[in-house]
Amino acid sequence: MKARVSWREQREKRAFLALEDGTVFRGYSVGAPRDTLGEVVFNTGMTGYQEILSDPSYAGQIVTMTYTEMGNTGVNSQDMESRRSWANGFITHEVREQSNWRAESSLADWLVATGTPAMAGVDTRELTILIREKGSLKAFMCVTGTVSEEEAIARARRWEGLDGQDYACRVTCPKPFRWDEDGKLTASWGIADSLPQPMLHVVVYDFGVKWNILRSLRRLGMAVTVVPARTPAEAVLQMKPDGVVFSNGPADPAALTYAVEAARSLVGRIPLLGICLGHQLFGLALGARTYRLKFGHHGCNHPVKDLATGAVEITSQNHNFAVDPATLPADDVEVTHLNLNDGTVEGLRHRREPMFSVQYHPEAAPGPHDASHLFIRFRNMMAGE
């Protein structure tokens, strides 16, 4: 497959990425003609760029793909994880022409259509090593040619960053809704041709929820109601659900004090599942603290160990914060999973109440399906099994 951008276009579409430490990476624009600020992170997935960019958890971040070529499979309507692209920016070494029977658009055309600034021609391996050594960095991506490198560095340094910021309110739904009542968004994805009749009702807090979480729940025979991030716990209970899910989402969990209070109010009153940000919110609700990781976990290949069985699962992850195990109340909470790369907490369960959470993404999209059984576990918990 040939490169998407010719040498002449590369020269005409010059762009650069200015980091807060003064480092500048040069390349050319392959996305929307709009400058952007964000926190630069790297993702180790070889595929799945569409799911990554449409994951609301990436709001506020400029995503660097460590694998050198993106765009080979194009973009299609079935692999979206929300209705739009949420990442502040996208960086790859090279964008290729699509060659896939499912493709409805090229990656470059989709980036322009969704207003996503993007750069190619960047040594992404060098950028990844820099982030690994220094940690995630604030950055300014200039694709318009209207800002000098010096000014771009200054803007990156002045940007507020993600710490202490409530991004969930920026990405959440505006009002409650029933997920996919006609089944088209669920049954059209993967191999599902028909869906079971809903036997249980689950409410999902939308802090930036991925559609594949909702698909996974619906496929297991649940009616799914999605509610905005600031919905009070009592309003959720009035919907008479059989269980409640606290979803994934972007930025700093400690900023979501209203969500922590909602989780605390629901403990012991209804079965609870937390995923990614939801896992961190559960930790805070149970009395623990969260802390920032040096460069986060972003990718489809993170090994996680189940401490009860000794089994190891390869998981999809996207988070910059983690739960501090030293601050967990041991009498109430048990650590169930650990990351084998750095030992961070990957799972929790309440010792007495029907409540558990995982830091990773059991719904994958993109990534392996090793942990999809957790949705069955949650369904069984709701059913009282």
Which pair of structure tokens corresponds to residue 372? 């999809």
The rounded distance, in Å, linking the Cα atoms of 298 and 52 is 10
Which pair of structure tokens corresponds to residue 310? 């000794």
Say if residues 261 and 237 touch (Cβ distance below 8 Å): no
In 3D space, the residue among 160, 172, 353 whose CA is nearest the CA of residue 259 turns out to be 172
User: Rounded to the nearest 5 degrees, what angle is found at the Cα of 310, between the Cα atoms of 327 and 376?
Assistant: 85
- Cα torsion through 190, 192, 195, 196, rounded to 10: -110
SS3 of 128, please? helix
Say if residues 41 and 18 touch (Cβ distance below 8 Å): no
For the chain, helix, strand, coil in percent to 5 are 25, 30, 45
In the DSSP assignment, the letter for residue 74 is -
HSE-up of 179 (CA within 13 Å, CB side)? 31
Q: Per-residue DSSP letters for 132-194?
A: HHH-SEEEEEE-SS-S-HHHHHHHHHHS--STT---HHHHS-SS-EETTTTSHHHHTSTT--S
Catalytic residue numbers, as ranges:
276, 361, 363
The dihedral built from the CA positions of residue 179, 183, 184 and 186, taken in this order, carries a sign that is: positive
Backbone phi and psi for residue 137, each to the nearest 5 degrees, phi listed first = -125, 145
